[in-house]
Amino acid sequence: MEKQELRTFGRRHGKKLSARQTMLIDRILPTILPTNLPANTGKILEIGFGAGEHLREIARQNPGKIIIGAEPFMNGVASLLSAITNELNAVRDEYKNIRIFADDVRDFLRNTDSQFEQIWILHPDPWPKARHEKRRLLHADFLHQLSNRLTKNGEIIIGTDHWEYYDWIINQSRIADLTYTTPDIKTIRTRYQQKNMAGTQTPKYLIIHAPTH
């Protein structure tokens, strides 16, 4: 039997959803699943999009590309659905390129052979307690798998305000023998960035580059 993967996210459900949010999950979500993706269109993946502020931004910036978001926290998915639909409950034109996988990204990746120009991971859950370290998503094996899903010149962009996790991710990237840079990116505003639970001044960013071989 296959070894069960450890859960890398906290909650799947938070406070009760509004009637509209429940309706959007029932009716709109099934129409924007990341299935039957066209082969010749550029794709961008965001893992753990939270409430989807950044996902919406990249959707607006890249109208010709498909933006896929994976997020198992249903309140986050519901917030995104509310923000991308209009008063008639139709997806707004500028967000028609969004596809949502409302679950663990590892399940999505197992069932697609898509390649991505960019993979964004902003504020991955840091699991700060030592006994929870194995729940961290960005260990060497997973980063290696992700790097193999990049198109030529593609990149994985990671940002976190948890500096200890940041150093740990850099170490995992080294273990996986990946090429990376640590650029000075202007702070990207997301809900977790605003919370800044780690209490640090700024987030730090890391870009992992597609393997050249």
Q: Which positions from 139 through 178 interact with ligand SAM, judged by CB under 6 A?
A: none
Shortest distance (Å) from residue 178 CB to ligand SAM? 19
- Both tokens of 87, joined, read 């008063």
Contact 74, 104 (CB under 8 A): no
Q: Which residue among 17, 157, 190, 210 contacts ligand SAM (CB under 6 A)? A: 190
47 binds ligand SAM (CB under 6 A): yes
Give the interface segment with ligand SAM, choosing from 29-37, 103-111, 145-153, 175-183 (CB under 6 A): 103-111
Is residue 34 near ligand SAM by the rule CB under 6 A? no
CB of 141 to ligand SAM, least distance (A): 13
CB-based closest residue to ligand SAM: 48
Q: How many residues bind ligand SAM (CB under 6 A)?
A: 23
Residue 158 beta carbon to ligand SAM: minimum distance, rounded to whole angstroms: 11
DSSP string of the chain, one letter each residue = -PPPPPP--S-S--SPPPHHHHHHHHHTGGGS-S-S--TTS-EEEEES-TT-HHHHHHHHH-TTSEEEEE---HHHHHHHHHHHB-TTS-B-GGGTTEEEE-S-HHHHHHT----EEEEEEES-----SGGGGGG-S--HHHHHHHHTTEEEEEEEEEEES-HHHHHHHHHHHHHTT--EE---PPPPP-HHHHH-TT--SS-EEEEEEPP--
Is there a catalytic annotation at residue 125? yes
Site for ligand SAM (CB under 6 A): which residue of 100, 102, 109, 137?
137
* Selected catalytic residue, list 26, 113, 125, 177: 125
Contacts to ligand SAM by CB under 6 A: 8-9, 47-50, 70-73, 76, 104-106, 122-125, 137, 190-193
- Which residues are identified as catalytic? 125
